[in-house]
Structure 1
């Protein structure tokens, strides 16, 4: 069975690109443009990895991480933040235990492939 990668990003262009890339890497993408739907997906069918944007609505990526803590078994799923927003250490500290890695966008395809392989 192919490992599933949940991509939570409200930018449709990013989702389309990640869909193509993740498929080309041999994984099954689960694409959601709404973080609330992402949490629902996480409850219903935990993926191998979550790729998460920070700047979204109606819930930010950091709020997603807070809500994720309430989902049984979700803490076992690694989260990689892919965002144009840079967090300082003080902003990131409360989430350090919830995030495997933070990557600043844009991300190159080879880098994305390496990140996915590292955590799945």
Structure 2
């Protein structure tokens, strides 16, 4: 693992903010606005952590998690869901092996730093 944080979100404003924050926390952000591209990045150069939005297209975050299971070794990379879309326990249950934590947006910078530190060792 590398100290790289892969951020997958289709909102360019969110990506710019997370880029600045993650750099200020001492990590290397890798920003992707398309979940399909995120899967490619995961195959090519697995990050230390994935921050994943749920409401995206052409693939949403849950579909990303389904596809991620098909990539050898990908389940070793923790995924933190960062989304305004709130999932209930029933919706999250099929992804229990795929999600390290769920954080509801908006997230305060100090909370984001804490979450990243917790899941990157």
TM-score scaled by structure 1? Answer: 0.98
Deviation for aligned residue 1:89: 1.1
1:33-112 equivalences in 2 (<5 Å): 33-112=33-112
Paired residues of 2:54 and 2:62 also in contact (CA < 8 A) = yes
Give the equivalent residue in structure 2 for 1:24: 24
Shift of 1:2: 6.0
Distance 1:59 1:15 in 2: 17
Partner Cα separation in structure 1 for residue 2 and residue 67 of structure 2: 27
SS at match of 1:63: helix
Contact 1:2 1:27 in 2 (8 A): no
List 4+ stretches of structure 1 deviating above 2 A. none
User: How far apart are the structure 1 equivalents of 2:2 and 2:29?
Assistant: 10
**CA–CA distance in structure 2, aligned partners of residues 48 and 19 of structure 1:** 15
For residue 97 of structure 1, report the CA deviation from its aligned partner: 1.3
Give the TM-score normalised by structure 2.
0.97
How far, CA to CA, are the matches of 2:91 and 2:119 in structure 1?
A: 24
The answer to whether the 8 Å contact 1:2/1:26 transfers is no
Could you list the runs of 5+ residues in structure 1 that have no partner in the other structure?
none
User: Equivalents in 2 of 1:117, 1:56: separation in Å?
Assistant: 26
